[in-house]
């Protein structure tokens, strides 16, 4: 595995890590579209990004990372994102560059981004499955903060999630103060129409749900899998600048460890299966 480390030093107790998994075939372009915007919206914290780059996919992946670090209009990727490139022992690249010596030479930014107009990949040619849980474990294990947010790369964290979440932890009010067990905080996900702006507040989200430009995640796939406990109560509550953990839900707690999006501390165990599944299909 090769590692390209973010530059900005951070105090682990004062922030969260975001851990999106990825594969070269689909994710580098999505990362370019999403992550700088997500940071601008208020993440401004570490991102531990694992990318599956087997065989000949390694070189274009490295070039894409160099472009993201050196050629964007800001240095958010270079400051906050640590990339972990991994591959199977059956598909080792013919040449693995040394990250430190590689990054000493600035990337030539005059050409098009290397991840644009990609027609084929080594992963496609070899018909390889994407080991998403391996990526999740790598990104999780490499996180530098106590609390981490495992997340698929296309998801946008809510603005100011970090200071509001840590403020909730610092207040330590019930039910947080009544348990010494490892803690998991599931986060509800919403899908928005590709033509509209991502909502930045609950008030905006509520309006979008009403006009159907936003829907609860997987509403038409598995609505019961992502029901929000007392969701209508939360939706009707007046919006504030605080996060409040006001309800425990046994069913939700039982499945939280199998969900990919939640804030948790680093005590959670690793995922045991190499590939994720949905309706019996490998992810």
pLDDT for the residue 65: 92
Which of 37-51, 177-191, 268-282 holds the top average pLDDT? 177-191
pLDDT for residue 270 is more than 80: no
Name the pLDDT band for 110 (thresholds 50, 70, 90): very high
Name the pLDDT band for 79 (thresholds 50, 70, 90): confident
Name the pLDDT band for 18 (thresholds 50, 70, 90): low
pLDDT for the residue 267: 47
pLDDT for residue 200 is more than 90: no
pLDDT for residue 10 is more than 70: no
Residue with tokens 């700088």: 36
Q: pLDDT digit string (tens) for 203-223?
A: 999 999 999 999 998 888 888
- 47-52 and 21-23 as β-strands: parallel, antiparallel, unpaired? parallel
Contact 81, 19 (CB under 8 A): no
- For residue 41, what are the CA distances in angstroms to 11, 136, 199, 226? 21, 24, 10, 25
pLDDT for residue 281 is more than 60: no
Show Cβ contacts of residue 44 under 8 Å, excluding neighbours closer than 6 positions. Answer: 76, 80, 162
Q: For the ranges 60-69, 105-114, 146-155, which has the lowest average pLDDT?
A: 146-155
Show Cβ contacts of residue 166 under 8 Å, excluding neighbours closer than 6 positions. Answer: 14, 15, 16, 147
Q: How far, in Å, CA of 4 to CA of 219, rounded?
A: 37
Mean pLDDT in residue range 254-271: 51
Name the pLDDT band for 37 (thresholds 50, 70, 90): low
pLDDT for residue 146 is more than 70: yes
Question: What phi and psi values does residue 101 have, to the nearest 5 degrees?
Answer: -70, -35
Q: How far, in Å, CA of 127 to CA of 183, rounded?
A: 39
Q: pLDDT digit string (tens) for 243-262?
A: 776 556 555 555 544 454 55
pLDDT for the residue 151: 80
Q: Exposed, middle or buried, 64 (CB in 10 Å: 0-12/13-18/19+)? A: buried
The first and second tokens of residue 226, run together, are 């992502």
Q: For the ranges 204-208, 225-229, 232-236, which has the lowest average pLDDT?
A: 225-229
pLDDT for the residue 254: 55
Please provide the average confidence, as pLDDT, over all residues in the chain: 77
User: pTM, whole model, 2 decimals?
Assistant: 0.73
Contact 62, 102 (CB under 8 A): yes
Mean pLDDT in residue range 239-246: 73
Q: How far, in Å, CA of 2 to CA of 25, rounded?
A: 18
Strands (E), 220-266: 262-265
The percent of residues in the chain predicted with pLDDT above 90, rounded, is 22
Q: How far, in Å, CA of 179 to CA of 281, rounded?
A: 37
Question: What phi and psi values does residue 108 have, to the nearest 5 degrees?
Answer: -75, 110
If one compares 170 and 37, the residue with the highest pLDDT of the two is: 170
């Amino acid at each position: 595995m090769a590692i390209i480390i973010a530059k900005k030093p951070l105090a682990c107790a004062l922030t969260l890590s975001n851990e999106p998994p990825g594969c070269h075939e689909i994710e580098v372009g999505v990362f370019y579209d999403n992550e700088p915007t997500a940071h601008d919206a208020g993440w401004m914290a570490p991102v531990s990004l694992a990318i599956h780059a087997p065989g000949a996919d390694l070189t274009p992946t490295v070039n894409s990372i160099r472009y993201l670090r050196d050629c964007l209009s800001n240095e958010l990727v270079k400051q906050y994102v640590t990339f972990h490139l991994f591959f199977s022992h059956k598909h080792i690249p013919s040449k693995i560059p040394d990250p430190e010596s590689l990054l000493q030479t600035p990337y030539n930014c005059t050409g098009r981004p290397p991840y644009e107009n990609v027609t084929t990949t080594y992963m496609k040619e070899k018909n390889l499955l994407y080991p998403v849980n391996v990526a999740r474990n790598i990104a999780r294990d490499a996180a530098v903060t106590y609390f981490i947010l495992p997340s698929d790369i296309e998801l946008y964290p809510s603005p100011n999630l970090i200071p509001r979440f840590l403020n909730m932890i610092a207040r330590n009010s019930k039910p947080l103060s009544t348990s010494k067990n490892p803690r998991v905080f599931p986060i509800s996900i919403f899908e928005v129409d590709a033509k509209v702006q991502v909502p930045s507040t609950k008030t905006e989200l509520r309006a979008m749900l009403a006009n159907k430009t936003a829907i609860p995640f997987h509403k038409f796939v598995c609505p019961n899998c992502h029901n929000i406990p007392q969701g209508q109560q939360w939706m009707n509550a007046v919006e504030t600048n605080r996060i409040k953990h006001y309800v425990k839900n046994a069913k939700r707690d039982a499945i939280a460890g199998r969900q990919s999006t939640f804030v948790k501390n680093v005590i959670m165990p690793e995922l045991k299966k190499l590939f994720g599944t949905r309706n019996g299909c490998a992810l």
